[in-house]
Structure 1
């Protein structure tokens, strides 16, 4: 991103220098026409003096001292000086922008997490303070300078020669018709190769609703975050670390074209802390749908005879399940029916080989079955067998089981007898689990 901006600014600076030099040459000549010439005044006075001495009244009456400069010259100089101001302003802002970009990429040290957060925080402030918009607007300022230069040229030639004026006007008009068309056409034809920085901003301003234009059928993460963000990086002295982590992950799976990078970013959601407070940023960025698709890619769908799913990567599928469980917390979202069969396949894995994977899959099933107490009892069964030593579950999996069980308790609409029966089953198991984990250093997370 910064490399592309630096290249664009370098081109702008070169063109600005050449244009300013050419424009200055024109201004030097035109400005002299606006200031009264002492030589012309002297010649007029000499002619008048000769006429008086020779008593040639006809010659004396025909001689006049120039008093004012034609209005046309004033207009030309005003337009060209404005064009020079726009050109030099472009150069000034371009130099400032290069300094901003240089400070955006300092040498950082520390852990990968620290460097990632530093990079993401700088990126968020870069967006919040509209640095991309400023850099993208620099060519527009130079285009305005060119337009003013052409306008002054036409005014200067208007009374000199009509043919030259008309030919120049036609060339300028065709050039700017093409310029405006190159900006407008991509608004309605998204596959048009004409690309301009201002087009993206016009598309957002003109088509606020994605359904209003086929161009906005898929909205980028940047536009979503601008509309749905609950913070403004410009007015936060220290942006929440959770928001930084969430936007960094969202940036990865929204902007990257590498499927492996996208998959890793989605799986990383499974490792977010239990008290993570910025899950809404990930949901708004479309993480839930991508996770469901990534989970489906962990299986091979055989359609030769009927429809059979074959597990390809159990550990990766479990990470997608955990990420899905974190994102749907408190939303009431249910597992998609189209991929419920691979979820059941994951749930029925051999407990002696994949106990954590099967338990995580059971959590996803339970959270999608609030109207059935059987799936919730299965969670208690996993906790009970883990407490008795029948199977070995990681502490993370046990926390996920307990969290899922609590989520189900909150959302249950079961008969009172079933709820009481479940509580009577749950209390001894939970007490046994807590007794076994109270000596662990991270037991407070449960």
Structure 2
């Protein structure tokens, strides 16, 4: 049994519990000393120090990886563009009349006429350059190679833009700050902005564009050789097909075997999108059997702002149609079936919310730091710290900081709606109870830690 001793003092506007000085018995507590009870979210509180270190390490690893990827793409795109340009310079001539061939034919006809060897027939066979029409194969060849060259130049151009965006983000985050909480708000705002504007998606797609440029170039090379030497063209086409097959397999296999080393950001993005779409479809289907009045997939509430024409003409009819189907299902399906579908709906809805948050991230949408937006950004920062860090100590610090807020705080209201946060809180509490019920003689937690955990649990729920 754990007995918690504390003194309660009245500070004029609220009661504040005080505890004996906490023992710094772990490396984590020595690095991040606990805050006074009730000051866990102050301007320079421990939670913001932990957040700054965790976010800095996360950003350093992420941005370094992006910069290395973009550097490699820039070098390869430059070399590939030079090679493709050399071929394009020769291939585009196939789209123009060959005046040299026409002049050579005319000279040959003139010389043959002197010898009286049928030059008139040869002169009549000469084609007027103004009537020249490119061959279909020449058009395909130049279209493929020009597309390949344009894709490589687009990749190089976007690499430069993305490197500028990364540098701008780094300068914004590393700018001077008046307090650790201010830094956390600023970093959360700009980091979520990168996610909102799909910067990671652009970085992941650029290699795909360059791969497409390479395959187009190889296809055009086989097409060029086909009119010159069909055997060599068939060999180049076979090698290109084998390479394309290997490339497709390297993308598909990570879906089936997560341990596959060929995993890239492309399979991860595709997997998340497919998973999100699948959950969305199952959630809408299961939603039709839900008895209670719950938020609908196409619902609207006054808190979302004024009702738009799209909501009035599209979402309202769909909402009423779903309600009508629900009422009809009550009489068509047994109660046990509808109850099972209701349970499956809530499970799918929670999974859908968690997957969407993991895929799209948080979405602050105002630059002004008003009170409402500041609370929202604070909630996003605490949520990121709790749900992202693999360290239980970091999760505990973020969770304990919630308890210093009032239960009706807008920050807490935002946190209550995050299903991924609730899962992390359950993990934190499940980790706390075994520690309290164990018979270990060495106590790695203090009375204030237990009070902070319970206070945060009461605040969230």
TM-score (norm 2): 0.62
> Is 1:298–1:317's contact at 8 Å kept on the other side of the alignment?
no
Q: In structure 2, what is the equivalent of residue 291 of structure 1?
A: 428
Please provide the CA RMSD for this pair: 3.2
Structure 1 residue 24 corresponds to structure 2 residue 92:
no
Q: For 1:262 and 1:8, how far apart are their aligned partners in 2?
A: 31
The answer on whether the counterparts of 1:300 and 1:309 sit within 8 Å (CA) in structure 2 is no
1:199–1:310 distance in 2 versus 1, CA, 3 Å = same
Q: Report the structure number with the largest CA radius of gyration.
A: 1
Q: CA-to-partner distance for each residue in 1:106-158, whole Å, 9 max, x for gaps? A: 23222100001100010111111111111211111111211211121121112
In structure 2, the residue matched to 1:223 is 355
1:129 corresponds to: 197
Q: Secondary structure in 1 aligned to 2:410?
A: coil
* Cα 1:190–1:210 shift into 2, 3 Å: farther
With 62-71 and 137-146 compared, the bigger mean Cα shift is at 62-71
The 10-residue stretch of structure 1 (111-120 or 168-177) with the greater mean CA deviation from structure 2: 168-177
Matched residue, 1:326? 459
CA contact (8 A) 2:272 2:359 kept: no
**Structure 2 SS opposite 1:207:** helix
Supply the distance in 1 between the matched residues of 2:227 and 2:190 (Cα, whole angstroms). Answer: 56
Q: CA deviation at 1:98?
A: 0.8
Q: Against the structure 1 CA distance between its residues 326 and 227, is the aligned structure 2 distance closer, same or farther, given a 3 Å change threshold?
A: farther
Write the mapping of 1:365-444 to structure 2, written as runs, cut at 5 A. Answer: none
Q: Alpha-carbon deviation of 1:183? A: 1.4
Does structure 2 conserve the Cα–Cα contact (< 8 Å) formed by 1:34 and 1:74?
A: yes
Please, which of 135, 154, 173 is the counterpart of residue 222 of structure 2?
Answer: 154
The residue that corresponds to 1:269 in the other structure is 402
**How much has 1:30 moved relative to structure 2?**
1.4
Whether the 8 Å CA contact 1:221–1:254 is kept in 2: the answer is: no
Given that residues 51 and 60 in structure 1 are in contact (C-alpha distance below 8 angstroms), is that contact kept between their aligned partners in structure 2?
A: no
Pair 1:227–1:257, CA change in 2 (3 A): closer
Contact kept in structure 1, 2:113 and 2:119, CA below 8 Å: no
CA contact (8 A) 2:379 2:415 kept: yes
Give the Cα separation in 1 of the matches to 2:111 and 2:77.
Answer: 52
Query: In structure 2, what is the Cα distance between the partners aligned to 1:281 and 1:150?
Result: 53
Q: Residue by residue, what CA displacement relative to the aligned partner does 1:346-384 show, whole Å, maximum 9, x if unpaired? A: xxxxxxxxxxxxxxxxxxxxxxxxxxxxxxxxxxxxxxx
Deviations 1:260-309 (A, max 9, x none): 22222222222234442243543422233133124225435249xxxx99
Instruction: Check conservation: 1:210, 1:219, Cα contact below 8 A.
Output: yes
Paired position in structure 1 for 2:41: none
Match 1:75 to one of 140, 151, 166: 140
Residue among 10, 15, 19 paired with 2:71: 10
What's 2:36 paired with? Answer: none
The corresponding residue for 1:48 is 109
Q: 1:221 to 1:247 in 2, by over 3 A?
A: farther
C-alpha spacing 1:221/1:268, structure 2 compared with 1 (3 Å): farther
Deviation at 1:99, TM superposition (A): 0.9
Q: Which contiguous aligned blocks of 4+ residues in structure 1 show a shift greater than 6 angstroms?
A: 218-222, 226-229, 308-311
Where in structure 2 are the equivalents of 1:201-350 lying within 5 Å?
201-208=269-276, 223-225=355-357, 232-234=363-365, 237-238=368-369, 240-279=373-412, 281-283=414-416, 284=418, 285=420, 286-296=423-433, 298-299=435-436, 301-302=438-439, 312-328=445-461
3-state SS, counterpart of residue 126 of structure 2: coil
Q: Point out the more displaced range, 276-285 or 190-199.
A: 276-285
